[in-house]
Amino acid sequence: MALPHNTKFYRLGNGGNMRFEQDLDALSEYLGRPHPEFLGTQMDHQPGRELQWVITADLRGKKESPISMRIQFSVMESNWLDGLARAMQEALARLCGQHVTALYGTRFAHFAMHDSIGGPRALSPHPELKYHVEHLDTMLHDTQKELDNYRVYANQIRAHLARKTDTVRILAYERKILRKQRVKKDAIIAHLRTKIVSLEATVRAQEDQLNEMEEEDEDPQGEEAFMSDGEDFEDTDLEDYEFLEAGEDNHTPIEMAPPTRSANQDAMMQMLEMMMADREAERAERQANIAALQQIAQNNNGHGNHDHPGSKLKNFQNTNPPIFDKTEEPLDADDWLQTMENNLEVA
């Protein structure tokens, strides 16, 4: 609802000299009506803050005979003076239209006449001007009506633009928020990528250390070490554990990344634990194989077979012993050892 910003009041009969004022005041006195009054209110109808004036005319009627009806109407203009002049012109036309009979034979009989709703009425032809006044009044009425329609349309367009402006402002604010969120997400992604690179470097370093530890487990003395009693492997295992726990033997300790809630780091740690478990399983398998070979050798030495070594080797080769390759199943290695032991007993 529009709220008034300013009000003005104007009453005829004070000797004013505005447009249509003298004729309106003279006609009111001729008809015996009170002086017309006009109230102007400055309103804010539009979202764009364009103020407009609403002029309300009050033409009080005559209570004595002949009684005349009260006339009230409103017009709208962009300022007070234009609105007051338009209201006076309309008041003059409506008074003439309501008192046609009383004005016959006066100069007011050829003034423009309007009905109770402001529409032009037909005039009697002027002796000299004929219907010129009537035509001018009709054109003026149509022009004012078009101006009012255009004003309403302009107000609607202005309101539509105001809504669009608000929408654009909201979208700009949301876009700014989205940009901030994107920058924040990019920073998080960059941080996670840095962590991934660090974790990959840590995994590579630990793999290199594990490979070095395996290379240290190999005995440079060849077959004699292969037939050893397994104590050197046990010592190496102990040293490996000491290396992992205490960081001794001039090795660089493995720096484990501090546990966090990152899913990538948890996956890396699980993979590392699986690799360590596989290494331990391989060592245990190797020790079992060594112990089995040592047992075979002891059994062969205990049989007391004094045949020529060449004949024993030939007999062993005649058994077509299987060749052992790498395997992932410990039972395959055990089967191979059992076959070799049986072939040695046959030879």
pLDDT tens-place string over residues 134-175 = 888 888 888 888 888 888 888 788 888 988 999 999 999 999
Q: What's the pLDDT at 105?
A: 87
- In percent, the amount of the chain with pLDDT more than 90 equals 27
Picking from 20, 17, 12, 15, the residue whose alpha carbon sits closest to that of residue 59 is 12
Is the pLDDT reported for residue 319 higher than 80? no
Q: What's the pLDDT at 266?
A: 74
Backbone angles phi, psi at 322, to 5 degrees: -70, 150
pLDDT tens-place string over residues 78-88 = 889 999 999 99
Q: What's the pLDDT at 89?
A: 93
3-state helix, strand, coil in the chain (%, to 5): 60, 10, 30
Is the pLDDT reported for residue 247 higher than 70? no
pLDDT tens-place string over residues 299-308 = 665 555 555 5
Q: Which residues, including other chains, have CB under 8 Å from residue 321's CB and lie 6 or more apart?
A: 339, 340, 343
Show the tokens assigned to 186: 């990019």
What is the chain's mean pLDDT, rounded?
78
Burial label for 150, CB within 10 Å (0-12, 13-18, 19+), is exposed
Q: What's the pLDDT at 228?
A: 45
Is the pLDDT reported for residue 90 higher than 90? yes
Is the pLDDT reported for residue 51 higher than 60? yes
The average pLDDT across 277-304 equals: 70
- Side-chain-facing half-sphere of 235: CA atoms under 13 Å: 8
Is the pLDDT reported for residue 194 higher than 60? yes
CA 118 to chain CA centroid, Å, is: 55
Is the pLDDT reported for residue 73 higher than 50? yes
Top-confidence residue, 296 or 92: 92
Whole-prediction pTM value?
A: 0.46
Q: How far apart are CA 96 and CA 103, in angstroms?
A: 7
Q: How far apart are CA 63 and CA 30, in angstroms?
A: 15
The average pLDDT across 196-221 equals: 81
Q: What's the pLDDT at 87?
A: 94
| Cβ–Cβ < 8 Å for 111, 92 | yes
pLDDT tier, 46 (very low <50, low <70, confident <90, very high otherwise): low
Q: What's the pLDDT at 8?
A: 93
Is the pLDDT reported for residue 209 higher than 80? yes
Q: What's the pLDDT at 267?
A: 73
pLDDT tens-place string over residues 94-124 = 999 999 999 988 999 889 999 988 888 888 8
| Cβ–Cβ < 8 Å for 285, 329 | no
Q: What's the pLDDT at 227?
A: 44
Q: How far apart are CA 76 and CA 82, in angstroms?
A: 9
- Peptide bond just before 66 cis, omega within 30 deg: yes
From the CB of residue 115, how many other CB atoms can be counted at a distance below 10 Å? 12
Is the pLDDT reported for residue 237 higher than 60? no
| Cβ–Cβ < 8 Å for 48, 22 | no
pLDDT tier, 263 (very low <50, low <70, confident <90, very high otherwise): low
CA 11 to chain CA centroid, Å, is: 60
Q: How far apart are CA 28 and CA 51, in angstroms?
A: 32
- In percent, the amount of the chain with pLDDT more than 70 equals 71
Q: What's the pLDDT at 29?
A: 92
Q: How far apart are CA 40 and CA 87, in angstroms?
A: 10
